[in-house]
Chain A
Amino acid sequence: MFLEFFYTLKAKGLDVSMTEWLTLMEALDKGLIGSDFSNFYYISRMILVKSESDYDKYDMAFMEFFHDIQSENELSEELRKWLDKGDDMEFDKQNQELYSFNQQRNADEVKRMFRERISEQNSEHNGGNHWIGTSGGSAFGHHGRNVGGIRVGEQGGMQSAFQVMGERKYQDFRNDRVLNMRQYQVAFRRLRQYSSRLDVPKTELDIDKTIEKTCDNGGYLQLEFDRPRKNTVKLLLLFDCGGTMIPFMELCNELFQAVHKANHFKDVKTYYFHNCIYSKVYKTAECEVGDWVDLDYLFKHYDKDYKVIIVGDAQMAPEELLDPNGNYRGPNDGHSGYEWCQLLNSKYKKCVWMNPRYHKELTRMHWMESEDKLSKLFHMYTLSVDGLKEAITYLLKNK
């Protein structure tokens, strides 16, 4: 039975290793867990899960694997008890009338709904009438007005573990959630991580090794060199400030801040564009006409080793991308936006496009034509922790 739990965890995308599993078995053997179910929840989590970003996945797996145990034993008993003595419960008299229809549900029906809902619900809900949560009129949850429902969570042994899971309070830490500032920063640190392993000649005098070798050499000087550990990553950031990006302004601002706070890059240059990249890019996010530099200027001044990160949603009318006169805010200088993008892509060795609303998995629709074209031209990633990691991995790959 337990081994199945191992595979459930794996299926939920948790990278649980054999070593960790055996450690859990050892803990069970040593009686550290005892017979307390919530203890088991915590201890198996602390042994098997090594990142708070995976807590949510663990909760889901745990819930899936063990929720049968819960609803069939403990809860149905609880339920019966509660249905029997509805009089003792505290509830809001006014609301009781309002929600009285709920009380007519029978136990089986409520239980079935509970199961359905537990599989549908994906966040904490307090105060509503439908989802499982607190202080609401729903048939499920606690501190609610509904007398004929299932109480989920609250104190006591086994249930407290389910309360924690039900709340899914670690949801915020999930990797695939859209990023916040701190997560951006951490993600960008990766851009340094790999760069120290860059294949550069050994040019830095390694004093420790030199001394050691000289000593070994009986006092005759023997010089030892090492690879410089400086970060060589240079970044060129291009932000889309078009109208469709407004919902993501804060997100972009955070990304921008994160890059500039990370002082480990050799150089960071930031420019802005409106909808699509044309012959000029703007110096400020306001994208005021005239306050711009030529794309050629970028090509001349920033060499091909700059890593280009374009942030934009790639939402534009096909003619804005493909027509040589598609730029309605400035000059095109003879090329369409797409051609300018091609030029950019061919000049720089590494370009990525971070898209906050990337429709990667969806079937291509007519209105996605521009995104479709650009995602074929650039390596396009979703603007999330995972997406950024993938993008950074690509940026650091040799070749």
Chain B
Amino acid sequence: MEAKFTGSKDYVASEELMAAVDVAVALQKPLLIKGEPGTGKTMLAEAISQSMDKELLIWNIKSTTKAQDGLYVYDTIQRLYDSQFGEEGVDDIAHYIKLGKLGEAFRSEKQVILLIDEIDKADLEFPNDLLWELDKMEFYIHETKETIKANERPIVIITSNAEKELPDAFLRRCIFHYITFPDREQMTEIIHAHFENLEENVLKNALDTFYWIRSVRDVRKKPSTSELIDWIRALLISGIDSEHLREKLPFLGVLLKKDEDLEAVNKAKLY
């Protein structure tokens, strides 16, 4: 493949992750990304789209999403409604076929990046229902007897929070990458990508405090990268002296979202 993924200005990718993207593109397989919330799974697709200069289509999956929604929707109600009033075009079914995100991706003239976000939120059978479509990159519209085939095979990125187990048949067709929580070194790099000219001591103090909070045993919902970035931003805007971050813990609510966790950290601070 000519276009290599090397991370982007705002997104720091580990070598492993970059290799995974390249392999998925070269082998024309969907790339399945798993990891703790806040490790940048969704941002990855944006970064790939930027660095490869390709359009990004996002299909957000909800608990009610069905596989069919991604292909096309036949708006029967609209048609029924129109027919009662004798609207024009009722006899043309194609008029009432609306393509979903997957359909759009297939129809596109240029190669696009399709992000299927949080696939595990949907019904358990959902991934299985998409096997054929993702394999062959085509589907059939019964109503119009038309086959939609991808002009350019889209690059498919799928994210999962591991809420549900994904079916084996589906997994076998994917390239899998697990994003581990960034260590200090990587985190420094990530922070630098988001903040230019951040003072060294602010960064150091913020990271010290951040990793300390993560290490407090009773904290249930550990703060993640995105929360750290928000926190540093809040610190910068308020202009708080970073010397005593650990003792004062300003804007703790940005990092921790649960009352119990706030309490746990405040308690741990005393020791």
Contacts and interface: CB of A to CB of B under 8 A. Distances in A.
Q: Do A and B make up one complex?
A: yes
Which secondary structure dominates where chain A touches chain B?
Answer: helix
B76 A212 contact: yes
Contacts of A19: 172-173
Interface string B1-45: 000000000000000100110110011010010100000000000
Contacts of A46: 16, 19-20, 23, 175-177
Contact of A215 (B27, B79, B172, B173): B79
A268 interface: no
Interface in B102-124: 124
Contacts of B252: none
B76 A211 contact: yes
16 contacts: A17-B172, A19-B172, A30-B27, A32-B22, A39-B19, A43-B23, A46-B16, A47-B23, A47-B176, A186-B162, A186-B165, A189-B164, A190-B165, A193-B164, A211-B76, A215-B76
Interface of A: 15, 17, 19-20, 23, 26-27, 30, 32, 39, 42-43, 46-47, 49-52, 55, 169, 181, 186, 189-190, 193, 196, 211-212, 215, 219
A72 to B, nearest CB: 27
B268 interface: no
A17 B178 CA distance: 20
Given A17-B172, A32-B27, A42-B16, 14 more contacts: A15-B168, A17-B168, A27-B26, A30-B27, A42-B20, A46-B23, A46-B175, A47-B23, A49-B176, A50-B32, A51-B171, A169-B180, A189-B163, A196-B124
Interface residues of B, number: 31
A27 B27 contact: yes
Contacts of A26: 27
Interface in B215-234: 220
B71 interface: no
Contacts of A39: 19
A49 B212 CA distance: 32
Interface in B167-225: 168, 171-178, 180, 220
Nearest to A197: B124
B270 interface: no
Contacts of B27: 23, 26-27, 30, 32
Given A50-B171, A50-B176, A211-B80, A30 B26 contact: yes
A252 to B, nearest CB: 16
A231 B165 CA distance: 18
A389 to B, nearest CB: 9
